[in-house]
Amino acid sequence: MKIRKLHHYESPPMDLLLMADPSQKLVEGYMKRGECFVMEDDNQIIGVYVLLPTRPETIELVNIAVAENVQGKGIGKVLVMDAIERTKLIGYQTIEVGTGNSSIGQLAFYQKCGFRITHIDTDFFIRHYEADIFENGIWCRDMIRLSQDL
């Protein structure tokens, strides 16, 4: 398995990107401004993440997804750690990530990867998504913002 930057002439793995963010409009928007990295195994993309510079010295991990057939094998953690290392090498001081208030597993996952909750963007998903999102029996309304100093 290897992780590499997606070339500008390659189509992004929208099936994976939409697993992490159901808004095609938002995904297409940050794909134009960010850099996409993919993990391949036997020439098949099994994981993806996108880094988006947001402020001087700060970058955001705006999307991370792992193919369903290989979930639970530590690939997500490898992707996050790769994103952190790339961010450090580029010279950023902070990496941020956001997830829904209903994403219990992701909240635990990001904290295990060294992120800390910094604030809540109230009603983010109501403002930016047309359809209501429910996950784990919870209405996803708020974006939980986490960050890590590098």
Query: In CATH, what number is assigned to the domain containing residue 58?
Result: 3.40.630.30
Q: What is the three-state SS of 29-87?
A: HHHHHCEEEEEEECCEEEEEEEEEEEECCEEEEEEEEECHHHCCCCHHHHHHHHHHHHH
Residues facing 119 on adjacent strands = 145
* Helix-helix angle 75-90:104-112, to 10 degrees: 50
| pTM of the model as a whole | 0.92
Q: What is the mean pLDDT of the chain?
A: 95
Structural domains in the chain (count):
1
Provide the domain limits for residue 110: 2-149
Neighbour count for residue 139 (Cβ, 10 Å): 14
pLDDT tens track for 67-117: 999 999 999 999 999 999 999 999 999 999 999 999 999 999 999 999 999
The residue that leads in pLDDT, 142 or 129, is 142
What is the reported pLDDT for 107? 97
